[in-house]
Amino acid sequence: MIRVVVAGAGGRMGRLVCEAVAAADELELAARLHRGDDAPGLLGDAAPDVLVDFTLAEATRDLAPLAIEMGISPVIGTTGLTTDDVERVRRACHDRGVGAVLAANFAVGAVLQMQSAEALARHLPCTGIHEVHHPAKKDSPSGTARATAERLGRLTGAEPAIQSERREGVVSRQEVSFGRDGERVVLVHEVTDRRAFMPGVLLAVRRARGLPGLVVGIDALLG
């Protein structure tokens, strides 16, 4: 049985993660962590194997290293973290021998879109990324759009431009466009229900303890 604490348990994603963990085989929801709680005390009392963190970047900067120091594997869905933040988590995992997962997007379709974008970018130039999210999203561009642009940039040497839009009634939508010489290809990934993220989150929870360190993205977990 894998014991799980969910940080940000009162938020949109946090509530869904709590429900998914509670309903999943071989997982146990050990505790819910809310803003203002005594995190070291709660983690110590709950003795979890995994901490799922869907809070804000400023909270994750303290919470992830704390969990790793306590031998708890973090599964981080927080966006807005800097390169230095990620490297700090990576070093902590290495030093303590703790596995962890950090992903900008836990939707399997989003990962497949990025992989497809890389395949297309080998043959057609990317003409841009257009991401649309709900107005409450804190970061702009989204973590998924930045991750997509970075992956294409590593492949082609130049990151495509990102257009960000915030619109009521939208959960998330990302278009990655390619084209030249009278042809155009558009990859679209759209999430209409946040439950679409749960299979990826649960996969990360089940795999995190066995990882050799920090894994960024769920690509490797999908095989």
**Which amino acids are annotated catalytic?**
133, 137
Angstrom distance (rounded) from CA 101 to CA 213: 8
Question: CA 160: distance to chain centroid?
Answer: 21
Residue 85 · residue 214 · CB < 8 Å:
no
Strands (E), the chain: 2-7, 27-33, 50-53, 73-76, 100-102, 126-133, 162-166, 172-180, 183-191, 214-216
CA distances from 73 to 43, 144, 158 (A): 12, 22, 34
At residue 161's C-alpha, the angle toward residues 175 and 215, to 5°, is 75
Angstrom distance (rounded) from CA 103 to CA 144: 9
Quick one: angle between helices 12-23 and 198-208, nearest 10?
Answer: 60
